[in-house]
Amino acid sequence: MTADEKETDIRLRSTGSKQQATIELKLGDNRSATDLFNTIKDQLLTKYMAADECRAGCLLVTVARDREWDHPKTGKRIGFETLIAVLNEEAERLSHELGGTAKLMAKGLDLRPRLPSERTPEQKRR
């Protein structure tokens, strides 16, 4: 739990030191790119990484359906891979701005179906 009573989704703590990391999970299907972009600084860095011991954070974005987002700066339509690249650019920019004292990153988890069902419609009825 953080000082302002907010809880991170996943917190990792070292057993050999006081160091910890936090992972914030977001469902990309329900969020705008601008919301995800702002989450890196406003929520992950400012709220969940406020403690001196927490120097690593990751925004983990999941997607379960095909969709596109409006780029947070240009407004151009982008896909999931580009969204994650844009989020990582912002994470790296913030890490650099902090002089490397904190490591931020964004990762994507693509949960969209890759293969059609092996069962035929006739087999499903049985």
Q: What is the DSSP letter of 41?
A: I
Name the E strands within the chain.
10-13, 20-27, 54-63, 69-70, 77-78, 103-110
pLDDT at 59 over 70: yes
The model's pTM is 0.82
pLDDT at 75 over 80: yes
Tally the residues of the chain.
126
pLDDT at 2 over 50: no
User: Mean pLDDT over residues 24-36, rounded?
Assistant: 95
3-class secondary-structure state, position 74: coil
